[in-house]
């Protein structure tokens, strides 16, 4: 990579501009646009995500401070906050949704060799949702409670890569289980969910689509045991049963047998009961699949802490969706950079390093090499002691 290019410019080389242009043309994103194209909008919003900008004015001022480097990064002119606000308001958010999905398609094969520690030759997905709080006076369309607004981020991630493969942004009042109506089941794969997704009509639809599920059961489940398998209680297992639902409604909604696995975790002193439609999987693997579900919780925690999706640069639904999808695109882009450059650092560390070096004219690999050298050469033995012990 040329030393005349900024780090920001080099990062953008991991993005396929042709893929982006296809997404823009699909929704006529640049129709009637004379200046500040969809690409420049993406650049400005990606810059805001990478550097944790707080407002449109903040974006405008920070980019203006690097005016001489903007053209090489893809900007045709200075970014004005009013122009960016209008773009976020009017440009179709689906442009950035489709573009994020194109990045996801590139990222997933890069993590295909990641070992989950499961003796399982199949793709495992985790489905969950998180609520993003909004100020009701600024986002009246997102009324959630009497004095609170919110949108909900429904997400399914590939556990092998921690890359989201499905995201749906809905009103905060939409129940989590509705996401099952929008995902496309992949035969032979596994979807792991918490008990909030218990809906036997929808679970039976997954079963008919030849998709396996692992879900935590509710305490009031009505069932009849048909068979019990032998278990080793020293492993934490408490039971492994074949059951039939006996509830007045559930017996009709899920008319075929289910598998019920009970497991006790000594580490947290808690008992879990799982339901699955896979009768061949070892029972400990069922418990291990559910344990890996926490990766989706970590994904939510990461993007809320390190990307700009809790404070928005506009108040319309289109602005909110645009910002969230560009945040997802940035997350996936960092994941791609991590693999293609062979970086051993965490995504958080990569993001922090990039955020402070965006307009340096240093090859990206050398940026991380310099970081490693600086952190490794710190000799703790030369530090002064406050107290002699």
pLDDT of residue 307: 85
Question: Please, which residues have CB within 8 angstroms of residue 345's CB and are 6 or more apart in sequence?
Answer: 338, 353, 368, 371
Rounded-to-integer distance, Cα 93 and Cα 15, Å: 18
Residues in the chain with pLDDT values less than 50 = 1, 384-389
Give the three-state DSSP class for 221.
coil
Give the three-state DSSP class for 15.
coil
pLDDT of residue 385: 46
Question: Please, which residues have CB within 8 angstroms of residue 357's CB and are 6 or more apart in sequence?
Answer: 7, 367
> Could you tell me the maximum CA-CA distance found in the chain, to the nearest angstrom?
74
Supply the angle between the helices 294-306 and 317-340 in degrees, to the nearest 10. 110
CB atoms inside a 10 Å sphere around CB 341: 13
Question: Please, which residues have CB within 8 angstroms of residue 344's CB and are 6 or more apart in sequence?
Answer: none
Task: State which H helix or E strand residue 216 sits in.
Answer: strand 212-216
pLDDT of residue 113: 84
Rounded-to-integer distance, Cα 335 and Cα 330, Å: 9
pLDDT of residue 176: 94
Give the three-state DSSP class for 186.
coil
Residue with tokens 């045991």: 225
pLDDT in tens, 193-249: 999 999 999 999 999 999 999 999 999 999 999 999 999 999 999 999 999 999 999
131 has which bridge partners? Answer: 152
pLDDT of residue 32: 84
């Amino acid at each position: 990579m040329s030393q005349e290019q900024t780090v920001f410019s080099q990062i953008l080389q991991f993005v396929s501009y042709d893929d982006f242009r296809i997404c823009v043309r699909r929704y006529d994103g640049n129709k009637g646009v004379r200046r500040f194209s969809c690409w420049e909008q993406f650049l400005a919003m990606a810059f805001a995500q990478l550097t944790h900008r707080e407002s449109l004015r903040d974006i405008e001022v920070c980019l203006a401070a690097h005016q001489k480097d903007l053209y090489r990064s893809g900007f045709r002119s200075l970014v004005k906050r009013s122009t960016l606000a209008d773009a976020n308001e009017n440009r179709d958010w689906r442009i950035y949704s489709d573009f994020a999905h194109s990045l996801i398609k590139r990222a997933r094969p890069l993590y295909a060799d990641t070992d989950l520690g499961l003796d399982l030759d199949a793709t495992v997905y985790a489905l969950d949702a998180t609520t993003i709080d909004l100020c009701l006076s600024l986002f009246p369309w997102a009324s959630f409670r009497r004095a609170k607004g919110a949108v909900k981020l429904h997400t399914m991630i590939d556990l092998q890569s921690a890359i989201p493969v499905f995201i749906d942004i809905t009103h905060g009042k939409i129940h989590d289980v509705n996401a099952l109506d929008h995902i496309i089941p992949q035969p032979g794969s596994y979807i792991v969910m918490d008990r909030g997704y218990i809906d036997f009509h929808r679970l039976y639809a997954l079963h008919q689509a030849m998709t396996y599920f692992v879900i935590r059961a509710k305490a009031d489940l009505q069932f009849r045991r048909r068979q019990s398998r032998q278990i080793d209680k020293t492993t934490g297992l408490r039971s492994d049963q074949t059951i039939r639902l006996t509830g007045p409604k559930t017996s009709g909604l899920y008319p075929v047998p289910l598998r019920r696995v009970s497991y006790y975790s000594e580490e947290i002193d808690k008992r879990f009961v799982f339901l699955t439609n896979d009768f061949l999987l070892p029972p400990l693997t069922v418990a291990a699949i559910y344990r890996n579900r926490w990766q989706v919780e970590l994904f939510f925690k990461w993007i809320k802490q390190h990307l700009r999706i809790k404070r928005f640069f506009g108040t319309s639904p289109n602005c909110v969706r645009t910002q969230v999808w560009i945040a997802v695109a940035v997350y996936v882009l960092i994941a791609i950079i991590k693999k293609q450059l062979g970086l051993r650092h965490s995504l958080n560390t990569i993001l922090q390093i990039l955020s402070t070096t965006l307009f340096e004219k240093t090859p990206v690999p050398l940026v991380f090499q310099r970081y490693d050298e600086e952190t490794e050469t710190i000799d703790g033995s030369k530090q002064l002691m406050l107290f002699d012990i």
